[in-house]
Amino acid sequence: MTVVGPFGLSVWDEALEADIQAGLAAVEEGLLEATKSDAPFITDAARHLLQAGGKRFRPMLVMLGAQFGDPHAPGVVPAAVVIELTHLATLYHDDVMDEAEVRRGVPSANTRWGNSVAVLTGDFLFSRASHLLADLGPEAVRVQAEAFERLVTGQIMETVGPPEGRDPLDHYLEVISGKTSALFAVSGRFGAMMSGADDSVISVLTQYGERIGMAFQLADDVLDIASDSHESGKTPGTDLREGIPTLPVLHLRKWRAQGRGSDSPADRRLNELLDGDLTDDALHAEALELLRAHPALEQARRDTVRYADEARSALAPLPDCPAKFALAGMCEAVVHRAG
């Protein structure tokens, strides 16, 4: 058995592995070229997170989607570069909004250079993605524009919070559908589309991307609580510290509102902490410890598994082939992250 891609994703077919590895190597070259500027400082800032690593999950999805048509079609690698540049740009902006100090195990761009440079670097990456996108044709531009609208809408919805009377958990799932799933859906869609695959295959891979994107973000929510910074590359509980509720906290609050929560001293203390200010390091650490032991974290894991199962089921119409098996393996890999 060989290994390729993020999270130790296993692929049994050597030819597929070689093809995907070659494609991802071409994507890395494209990313380096796209982040090069005549101004050395801009190059350094634009490559800050690129060179820190990253899982390249979205380019991997583009490459696997292209296996259902011509995987070597000229638009496949540029489309993967566009997707990853867009993703990288959102990370610069997210870290500013979240006041994050660490990203991918290195100081965030806003910590190193300040908020203004971080935001403008994100804008620079968006502009480079747009430049590449223009060569892929008007349909690709339209698809990316729609995804970008969903991404920004999700970010705005998260910022303003749920409207009066809206279930915060439902609101949150809609937020991540825009912020995360939209780009995953385009990854699957671009791979199939650029390779010349049938419309039915494009539809299947778009739906798969939507569901695996949800599972990916929910796994991140679990990791943000359950892991340490060495495992995740980010400061644990960043959203918790900023008062941004993610899936485990939302489950806990919903149970409490419905009278289903425990009245144990630990639960009372956890609720008290979550309703207060967690910028204090000691209180933040205490809340993390209590939340790690709470059933709400296990419920978040089950939700992750459910979305991953839905992603796997979406693949059913595709013919059995190594690429389909690898896509199913992505579902297992995402669930393993949250395990």
Domain residues for the domain of 24 are 15-337
The percent of residues in the chain predicted with pLDDT above 70, rounded, is 93
Residue 3 inside a domain? The answer is no
Token pair of 160 as six digits: 């303003």
Residue 144 inside a domain? The answer is yes
- Tens-place pLDDT, residues 211-261: 999 999 999 899 889 877 545 555 678 778 878 788 999 999 998 888 776
Residue 4 inside a domain? The answer is no
Residue 66 inside a domain? The answer is yes
Mean pLDDT of 21-25: 95
Of 19, 47, 41, 187, residue with least CA distance to 104: 47
- Tens-place pLDDT, residues 284-312: 999 999 999 999 999 999 999 999 999 99
Domain total of the chain: 1
Quick check: 22 and 48 in contact, CB under 8 A? no
The owner of tokens 């349909």 is 139
* pTM as predicted: 0.89
Residue 33 inside a domain? The answer is yes
Residue 87 inside a domain? The answer is yes
Residue 7 inside a domain? The answer is no
- Tens-place pLDDT, residues 88-114: 999 998 888 877 777 877 888 888 888
Q: In this structure, what CATH number is given to the domain that contains residue 240?
A: 1.10.600.10
- Tens-place pLDDT, residues 127-151: 999 999 999 999 999 999 999 999 9
SS3 track for 174-193:
HHHHHHHHHHHHHHHHHHHH
Quick check: 190 and 81 in contact, CB under 8 A? no
Mean model confidence pLDDT for the chain:
89
Residue 8 inside a domain? The answer is no
Tell me which long-range contacts 39-44 makes (C-beta under 8 A, separation of at least 24).
42/121, 42/124
